[in-house]
Amino acid sequence: MKKLFGIAFATTLLDQLIKNGLLFFMSYGESINVINGFFNITLIGNTGAAFSILSSNTLLLIIISLVVLNVLYFCFIKGKKLNDFEQLSFGLLIGGILGNLIDRVLRMQVIDYLDFNFFGFNFPVFNLADIAIVISMILIAIQVIKGDKNGVSSKSK
């Protein structure tokens, strides 16, 4: 369980350090070209969830985040013996949720900054917490698809 909480802590900490560093050095709407025509650091605030879903419903998104964190802990983590793969998956998920939750509580919006352009398609701007959540979902899906009988929280302590 130490790995899970270590991964969650490291993910949250790194996410917040990056966001606070960018807020210190950049203004909202400012963009720094990193790889011409492909990647920019663009500082924006997002009051919604992914792709600005539920935009301007910050309180609802805070409540949803808290409910998800509690469900994760009480249904999948507490009293379970998780393997390393599960600890990585849940650690990234919790860290990502916490990173964006901290933004919503402190700033009433999530700070996004990773701005990619793929062959003329400008992908929505996102952040490290979002990456952690997506990777965790992929890892959990892999475990579920594999049908691991000892997987996702089936073992008790």
130 catalytic? Reply is yes
User: Tokens 């073992």 correspond to what residue?
Assistant: 155
Cα–Cα distance, 32 to 21 (Å, whole number): 14
Eight-class DSSP state of 124: P
> Of the residues 15, 103, 112, 115, which is catalytic?
112
Tokens of 26: 């950049």
> Is residue 97 helix, strand or coil?
helix
> Of the residues 15, 103, 115, 130, which is catalytic?
130
84 catalytic? Reply is no
Tokens of 136: 């965790």
- For residue 72, report the phi and psi dihedrals to the nearest 5 degrees: -55, -50
Which amino acids are annotated catalytic?
A: 112, 130
